[in-house]
Structure 1
């Protein structure tokens, strides 16, 4: 049984999950167990994951989480892995493409003493040209800057370390820390900031890992626009939009 487990929550991702699974199969370090958590999908997401499990170069567990919300799916997957003996946990999303060195970098960071390892996200190349990828980098940098200066994130609120934005689709955490902070909030997205702030109140062992690179889908940005996406990240909801496109 491997110490590292990778969790992938998935809702209505039959069209994109295959790319994520192939990217995980192409990792340099494949000594991990994968957990795909189907979050109330109706489009064959779980069936795709089960077909992949039959040919995967590592063990695959496919779970069903009927309570809708990415936080519910992530928490179910993490707690399942911990219950199976996982000590190191990594997460990406079902519309993301981890670069080949992703699991190796995550494992190295956690075994070196990090409690939470945060990677770098870029825009998917198969969805965006150079100009769009550059715009995405600028938006990520702007969001990170806003997070650092946001009054609610200041250390006087009980945080042990300064705020540094991290994406839930590119993170790794020890099982001990995950349980110590109460896990991922069981709610719809956004959950990343809430989880990070739970960790910031508990430890300073948060590191940025340049070798953890994940290509991120930009379909929420295309669906909501810049202002709508900012509103969504501030937990103000999607406005007049319907279900989160991710």
Structure 2
């Protein structure tokens, strides 16, 4: 691996939840083609069913494609996966796995929970259902990858300060994930996004993980800011998928 920090572009692919439309998936596909950056997509069962050919092409193009679940959309009483016990989580996972396998012909190895809802029971359930990697953990402090219950956890890149928190009070968290679609929602927040990015890179973390959602790309102005941000940051980092990152780390450790 080069001396440049690996850039993990992670995208939660859900379609436009309010309307049930998947046209945002088509927009995401255009963005991926325009940027030519490797990415990791966490895809909901609904999108897998309705945009199977697109998701298959992402796999063929060597992007990493994992599973993304919001339990509230699968009949759950709560949309926070971390609030459920292991058995219930396994049930949600198996439902998503079945859709993944039947439409894509393979079993998912990588997972992210909706709302970054993380728990020890989630890791146990992921291990029991055959997942190798998870990217749901939003740590209080910056945290390197670790293994728990035979699952490799790739924590979100986070940042925090009183200044940043004052701009995101509705989130009610001590640290914020580098969710660039939210941070690039306005020109003012865009400044905060770049500052947070450079601060994370300056701390020499094992990677820079940025996240976004496909549905936020339906805004032309926000799409433009996201594209410019990713193009700029990729000049100073090494963009890789989660699969590529893990392969390179394994090679380094041997």
TM-score interval (norm. to shorter):
0.3 to 0.5
Q: Return the TM-score normalized by structure 1.
A: 0.33
Say which structure is richer in helix: 2
